[in-house]
Amino acid sequence: MAWICVRGDASLRIQIIAIMMTSFVAGYLITVTSRFTDIVIIALGRNCKEAVALVTGGASGLGKATVQHLLKHGFKVAMLDLPSSNGAFLSKLINRDCLYVPTNITLDEEVKNGMSKIKDKFGHLNAVINCAGISFNCKTFSFNKGNMSQKSSVKSDLKKVLAVNVVGTFNVIRHALDLIAQNERDESKCRGVVINTSSFSSFEPQFGQASF
């Protein structure tokens, strides 16, 4: 599932589109990232070689696949991921059009620093694709063990999930809009694109996925 919000004029008029895929199938990452890229291209309506996209969680999984797919289609890409990630190695391995900024998206100053680095290297920002997210495995209740949510770690784990998946995503969007707002409106009055992703577990959770 992904929500695509097209940034319009100064009134913050937002168009929301939903993408749903019913199951995990072979080529899942390719299919999803292809859709992301197609939507960004259509929404921006411009030459991809002039466009700059920001991908959070870009050093692994869906984020990494998104980075690679965007670069393949001519985008310049900035990826934000944790300092402990493989981001630095990947950015050097891929090509010069890829910038890695070690960032904990739950920390406001680090996100602001990331946007500053993007501005310094590329000069502008056209698209944001939020792929960063975490989860933890724990049952809320077990008939054998009773209420599992009484464990001290469950609450702290849930707070971490909300900090990254909700607050962190919000941090990235609000700071990215400062850059996107500087873009000239195109013929469709669009300044940029924001794509927020979420897990299928939000709709079809498995046993032990208490955070969903």
Residue 198 DSSP symbol? -
Query: Does residue 79 form part of some domain?
Result: yes
* Number of compact structural domains in the chain: 1
Query: Does residue 205 form part of some domain?
Result: no
φ, ψ for residue 141, nearest 5 deg: -145, 140
In percent, how much of the chain has pLDDT > 70? 68
Query: Does residue 206 form part of some domain?
Result: no
- 3, 4, 129, 158 from 62: Cα distances, Å: 15, 16, 10, 22
pLDDT of residue 17: 36
Asked if residue 164 has pLDDT above 70, the reply is yes
Span 53-78, mean pLDDT? 89
What is the CATH classification number for the domain harbouring 15?
A: 3.40.50.720
Query: Does residue 204 form part of some domain?
Result: no
pLDDT of residue 15: 35
Asked if residue 157 has pLDDT above 70, the reply is yes
Cβ 21 vs Cβ 31: under 8 Å: yes
Distance CA 110, CA 106 (A): 8
What's the domain range around 141? 2-199
Query: Does residue 107 form part of some domain?
Result: yes
The helix (H) or strand (E) run that includes residue 174 is helix 169-180
Asked if residue 28 has pLDDT above 50, the reply is no
